[in-house]
Amino acid sequence: MPGVAVITDVALDPYNSDGHDGIVREGVIVNDETVEVLCKQAVCQARAGADIVAPSDMMDGRVGAIRAALDAEGFAEVAILAYTAKYASAYYGPFRGALDSAPKAGDKKTYQMDPANAREALREAALDEDEGADMLMVKPAGPYLDVISSLRDFSPLPIAAYQVSGEYLMIKAAAKSGWLNEQAVVLESLTGIARAGADMILTYFAAQAAEWL
């Protein structure tokens, strides 16, 4: 569709029977082998027409590797939206339940970020900038407004924030029970994310919010 930017997710969890974002060898996520596959995936998506690729896997060094792979294949104009601060969050539960994509063994805490560690986000932002990211993302959004604000002050790059399935479902469930005014609470939550410093907001409320606004 002309005028619409296509953003694609770069990660292996949709294709892994174990539900992990990377290749698993004897119970361990193999970083470098995973990055090689992610590069192939990003190039494939660019060939299919992606304007922006968004690596959500949280492997080390993948932004730089993907940038090099895209450039080598003639896709220098394809941008990278890096999942810079993706936390090992309980708020992903509804999404994982709907897709049956939760890890079959272990968890994602060895590669996603510790919710108690805000400083790591600045380190990850610096690395992603150096590796060629065009935009930085914080996920989830609502519980991490402080991280959004910190990245906004730290980096000149556009900051994206992902309002995830748990945030969405809590508002939907409360509104369905008559406890909240859905439109008012949705717009207030999105305003808070924007006020914290997000230039872009990814949300399941996108279509509704666009109509309301």
Within 10 angstroms of residue 45's Cβ, the number of other Cβ atoms is 22
Distance CA 205, CA 159 (A): 19
Q: Which of 104, 109, 139, 172 is catalytic?
A: 139
> Which residue has 């770069």 as its token pair?
10
Find the angle CA(70)-CA(72)-CA(74) to the nearest 5 degrees. Answer: 70
The verdict on whether 108 is a catalytic residue reads: no
The verdict on whether 104 is a catalytic residue reads: no
Is residue 49 within 8 A of residue 60, CB to CB? The reply is no
Distance CA 92, CA 100 (A): 12
Question: Tokens in use for 193?
Answer: 């994310």
Q: Which of 86, 104, 172, 176 is catalytic?
A: 86
Active-site annotation, residues: 86, 139
